[in-house]
Amino acid sequence: MAQLAIAGGDPVRTRPYPDWPHGDDEDVAAVEEVVRGGRWGGFPEPGPKAAAFEEAFAVYQGARHGILMANGTVTMEVALKALGIGWGDEVIIPALTFAATVYAPIAAGALPVIVDVTPDTWTIDPDLVEAAVTPRTRAIMPVHLGHQMADMDRVMEIARAHGLAVVEDCAHAHGQRWNGTGAGCIGDFGSFSHQSSKIMTAGEGGSLLTNDDRLARLAHSIIDCGRPKDDAEMEYTFGANYRLGELPAALLTVAMRRFPAQQEQRAELGASFEELAAGVPGVRVMPHDPRITRWSFYRYVLAIEPDGFAGRTNGVICDALEAEGVGAWTGYEPMSNYDLFQPSLSRLPVAVEHADRLDPAMMSFPVAEAAGLRESVYIDENVFRSDHRGVEQAVEALAKIQRHADELPAG
Ligand SMILES: Cc1ncc(COP(=O)(O)O)c(C=O)c1O
């Protein structure tokens, strides 16, 4: 008789893990206040709810300024534009991330230069960043992926040595700290997503954080059709409407109040998960970087070694985990093999010198390819908002799949 749920056996967990997004009467009251108050839109920018959230989030993360906008994709485009980055410039990004990270430089008119990630973190490889710097390079965009952070010590060292800007993609890293400094407060800008799956959400939305007064004013201006901001000296910029409305902003003020308790719970359950999962044969848990001084993560990312799972790869393992009652996802495809990354459609390759480097067929990212196509398994965040039993069951599911891997479908 089959043991694995995917093959007809009983699942490890029958009770669902907690829902996400989590909403209750407090959210309803916050939205109702905006609806009845009549100030729905984001103009004049920022609206009162947006301003309240910007301040609370910036304080929590440790930045001087927060700028709330439509999503965590345009945040990065706005950051690059505020930094004066555009035509002919190069921006270095990692090969394993969501399409938004590579979209942003293209949208700003710059050439994304893609480099591989490290096997220990699956975040941008600083040695490869250094090797990719040219006289045209203007910025590095590290991505803090899953529960990991990019090596910000090395990234900042390289940026300083070459006079480059740094825009951190923190879509997965609300609450994380690196050597005591909040994610998104280390480089020139930090970019956060508030899209539904993210851990501080209003369904949609995005935030930039910065410690630089001038960059903050420019970002506010760019998202508000170029209007000058709070400064008699400031002139118009070239901008568009990327404002967020007051209804999602109100939801974010509630999400912010709830966040510290959720962060603590995720960190505690994440630590027990990591300890238990490290004992499962065929599972590689990445080294825990002690420079991550407050742990707060989107999903926990681990590597399965196909040899330990009868040759099966991450897609089948994720399906099997789902069947056992544990949400899991394979994560991003590498940029060399990514459905959502179609650079030729941007027309950038016909416009920019050296844009032939954007042809996926010419790319080779061995670490990102091994991760995205065979090894990476992202365990859903709701496991880390359940309880110790929930965490044990997630690990039991992994161990059971490993023990009975020969029951898995091919793939
Ligand atoms: C790493 C990364 N960067 C950027 C984004 C873009 O955020 P949004 O969906 O808010 O545009 C996401 C979210 O999907 C992401 O995972």
Stretch 56-70: mean pLDDT: 98
Share of the chain above pLDDT 90, in %: 92
How many Å lie between the centroid of ligand 1 and the Cα of residue 145? 11
Residue 232: per-residue pLDDT: 76
pLDDT at 50 > cutoff 90: yes
Residue 7: per-residue pLDDT: 98
For 140-177, the pLDDT digits (tens) are 999 999 999 999 999 999 999 999 999 999 999 999 99
pLDDT band at residue 234 using 50, 70 and 90 as cut-offs: confident
Alpha carbon nearest to ligand 1 atom 14, residue? 98
> Which residue did the predictor score with more confidence, 133 or 351?
133
Q: Is 71 in the pocket of ligand 1 (CB under 6 A)?
A: yes
For 238-252, the pLDDT digits (tens) are 999 999 999 999 999
pLDDT at 233 > cutoff 90: no
The answer to whether the CB of 391 falls within 8 A of the CB of 384 is yes
Q: Which residues contact 331 (CB under 8 A, 6 or more apart)?
A: 96, 146, 301, 314, 371, 372, 376, 377, 378
Q: Which residues contact 304 (CB under 8 A, 6 or more apart)?
A: 282, 283, 284, 313, 314, 317, 375, 377
Stretch 212-229: mean pLDDT: 97
Least confident of 123-127, 320-324, 343-347: 343-347
pLDDT band at residue 347 using 50, 70 and 90 as cut-offs: confident
Residue 108: per-residue pLDDT: 96
For 304-331, the pLDDT digits (tens) are 999 999 999 999 999 999 999 999 999 9
Alpha carbon nearest to ligand 1 atom 10, residue? 72
Q: Is 211 in the pocket of ligand 1 (CB under 6 A)?
A: no
**Pairing verdict, β 65-69 and 177-178:** unpaired
Mean of pLDDT over the chain: 96
pLDDT at 230 > cutoff 90: no
Between the alpha carbon of residue 197 and those of residues 123, 200, 202, 244, 298, the distances in Å are 20, 9, 10, 18, 8
Q: Is 331 in the pocket of ligand 1 (CB under 6 A)?
A: no
Q: Is 191 in the pocket of ligand 1 (CB under 6 A)?
A: no
The pTM of the full predicted model, rounded to 2 decimals, is 0.98
Stretch 2-15: mean pLDDT: 98
Ligand 1: atom nearest CA of 298 is: 16
How many other C-beta atoms lie within 10 A of the C-beta of residue 219? 29
Choose the residue to mutate in 71, 73, 75, 124 for probing ligand 1, maximizing ligand atoms within 8 Å of C-beta: 73
pLDDT at 349 > cutoff 90: no
- DSSP state, residue 365: -
pLDDT at 350 > cutoff 80: no
Stretch 42-62: mean pLDDT: 98
Residue 344: per-residue pLDDT: 87
Q: Is 171 in the pocket of ligand 1 (CB under 6 A)?
A: yes
* Geometric angle at alpha carbon 57, from 52 and 63, rounded to 5°: 115
Residue 241: per-residue pLDDT: 98
Tell me the torsion sign for CA atoms 63, 66, 70, 75: negative
